């Protein structure tokens, strides 16, 4: 199966942001002030290959962020990937 690229921003997982400013998931699947290292660790645990690009999420330009470009299997949607990473982030924070 051919991999596809999925672009995600750290802001997707920030519990302190409203959906207007970039949060993509319910607050139950997000963490306050997620760190790049945490998101990358979640991606590694889930087995995704990735590359990191610096930048600011356009809707929340006032907040530092980073863009992560993931290689994921072709049959999985971006939303499913974001949900999996969100769940893993919450697990990592609880430990």
Give which of 4, 6, 2, 3 is closest to 69, Cα–Cα.
6
Q: What residue ranges do the domains of the chain occupy?
A: 3-94
Choose the CATH number for 3-94 among 3.90.1720.10, 3.30.56.30, 3.40.1280.10, 3.40.109.10: 3.30.56.30
Task: Give residue 93's pLDDT.
Answer: 92
**Which CA distances in Å does 86 have to 1, 37, 79?**
25, 14, 10
Digit-by-digit pLDDT tens for the chain (95 residues) are 568 999 999 999 999 999 999 999 999 999 999 999 999 999 999 999 999 998 888 888 888 889 999 999 988 999 999 999 999 999 999 87
pLDDT at 94: 87
Residue located via tokens 């750290």: 10
pLDDT at site 2: 67
């Amino acid at each position: 199966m051919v991999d596809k690229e999925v672009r995600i921003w750290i802001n997707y997982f920030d519990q302190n942001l409203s959906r207007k400013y970039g949060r993509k998931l319910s607050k139950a699947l997000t963490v306050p002030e997620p760190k790049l290292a945490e998101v990358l660790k979640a991606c590694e645990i889930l087995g995704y290959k990735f590359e990191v690009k610096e930048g600011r999420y356009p809707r929340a330009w006032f907040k530092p962020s980073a863009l992560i470009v993931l290689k994921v299997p072709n049959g999985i949607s971006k939303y499913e990937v974001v949900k999996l990473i969100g769940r893993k982030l919450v697990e990592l924070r609880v430990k």
